[in-house]
A and B are shown apart, each in its own frame.
Chain A
Amino acid sequence: MTGLLADTVEDPPVCLAIPGKIVEFVPDQPHLAVIEVSGVRRRVNIDLLRDEPLAEGEWVLIHVGFAMSRIGVVEAEEQMRLLAMLGEDTLAMEELAGYRFSEPPARAEDNA
């Protein structure tokens, strides 16, 4: 998604969080993990959850590009359902797709 397109969508709420499953860690980028949400894969920052080791297959809640809490699979399903009920599942997916820092970097040093 381009910045221009992003400006045309509705405002994503600041508070609601998006559930994602950790599917991969990023080599040489210990602060990042690849998460999957409804089949879409993006990188998010996992620095807030590094006190205890994270494992592939774990579920997290994502807020503004950061995994902010660990949750169970049941809670993840509940959260996705809640977003759908609030009519915000599309916005959540747009937010994920809109993370620019998440794009594979052209150069390693570009990796925010």
Chain B
Amino acid sequence: LAIIIPAYNEEDVIGKVLESIPKAICGMATFCIVVDDGSTDATQQVAKKFGAATLRHAVNRGQGAAVQTGITAALTIGCDAIVMLDGDGQHNGEDIEHLMQPILTDQADIVNGSRFLKKQKIPALRRAYNSGANLITWLMSGYYLTDSQSGMKALGKKAAEKICIRANGYEFCSELVREASWYKFRVTEVPIHVSYSRYSMSKGQNFSVGITTLSKLVIRSIMK
């Protein structure tokens, strides 16, 4: 089981993220792959110190690009399933097992970790942006997810081999759902924990990034 962690300038937290991942899940050994997306700090070195396999983008290409690189690497080494999670420490390693259950029981090809299926503190702006992105993703794919922009997902081998992410930025989440719809993969959601710290709030998506992502999604949908 490959755990893909795209990371950009995460030297402060990547060690903790790697420590939180269990050595084995449901009898499958985990293999952590950190994709250092052109960091200017020691993210790659720290990740190596904590035992992860690392790949490094020479220049920053965005989370979508890093995730696709991680998927290709995982398939190259022959992993049977893939879980991806953010490198900023907002996700909980214990959720990986819940995420994998529908794939292991052959109930789904792709499992989306949803922050909104359980009550937890999520900033209102993120909720608002997410609702817009959910709507656009639904219009693009016909699949309605409660958290289409979640960075925590699991892919079975078949889905990982077929899906090809071309979007470089955060809009890759919606592209992945559109690809899933194209290949008629079964997509399901499970609730996941999320913990927003000041650090994780300063990273990743904010409202302005959200607006950019939404406009990219619209332009891609219309012009491609």
Q: Do A and B come together as binding partners? A: no
Q: Which residues of B pack against A, CB within 8 Å? A: none
Q: Which residues of A pack against B, CB within 8 Å? A: none
